[in-house]
Amino acid sequence: MERPLWAPWRIKYILGEKEKTCLFCRVVEEDRDVENLVLHRGRLSFVIMNLYPYNPGHLMVAPYEHVSELEDLAPDVLLEIMLLSQDCCRILKKTMSPQGLNAGFNLGEIAGSSIKEHIHLHVVPRWQGDNNFMPVLAGTRVVPQALDETYAMLAQEFGKM
């Protein structure tokens, strides 16, 4: 039997105008870090929360430079992305106590990248049972914490860097 799930916050995304420019480039140019869920700006890259997360605390680390290929990133940019990824792991472990973490790049659309034109690294906290029956039966994930609550908690820790 098919059972609908009520997720009224998704209608804004479904009916909303789709972004015509690169999300990451737009965010970098704007001075609206809280609204854009930017947690930290480094010298060459930044940390941003995923607006449509797989799990609470799903973070992305992206370079300021609009580059799509890993091999096109300069060594200093690669280093900062990896160092910020380490910071993400430390902060997520401290604030959210995940039982594990997934971290990595989705390189190209066929590899799962929804923003293939601007490379970014995902850091996703994981807990036992977070991938339960909902994705299998309903094709839906349940994220049990509001984005603004997660942002406030993580921003406090990133602010200490």
Q: How many domains does the chain have?
A: 1
Is 120 one of the catalytic residues?
Answer: yes
Q: What's the whole-number mean pLDDT along residues 18-45?
A: 93
Residue 99: which pLDDT band, with cuts at 50, 70 and 90? very high
Residue 127: which pLDDT band, with cuts at 50, 70 and 90? confident
Helix and strand tally (H, E) in the chain? 6, 5
In a domain, residue 74? The reply is yes
Residue 21: which pLDDT band, with cuts at 50, 70 and 90? confident
pLDDT of residue 144: 57
Domain that holds residue 28: 18-158
Q: What is the pTM of this model?
A: 0.81
In a domain, residue 2? The reply is no
| 37, 52 Cβ separation under 8 angstroms | no
Q: What's the whole-number mean pLDDT along residues 29-46?
A: 97
What mean pLDDT is reported for the chain?
A: 85
pLDDT of residue 13: 58
In a domain, residue 49? The reply is yes
In a domain, residue 134? The reply is yes
Closest CA to 49 of 137, 160, 123: 123
In a domain, residue 62? The reply is yes
Residue 134: which pLDDT band, with cuts at 50, 70 and 90? very low
In a domain, residue 1? The reply is no
Dist. CA 152–CA 94, nearest whole Å: 14
> What does the pLDDT look like over 142-157, one tens digit per residue?
555 678 889 999 999 9
Q: What is the CATH number of the domain that holds 137?
A: 3.30.428.10
From 58, 118, 120, 122, the catalytic residue? 120
pLDDT of residue 143: 55
In a domain, residue 22? The reply is yes
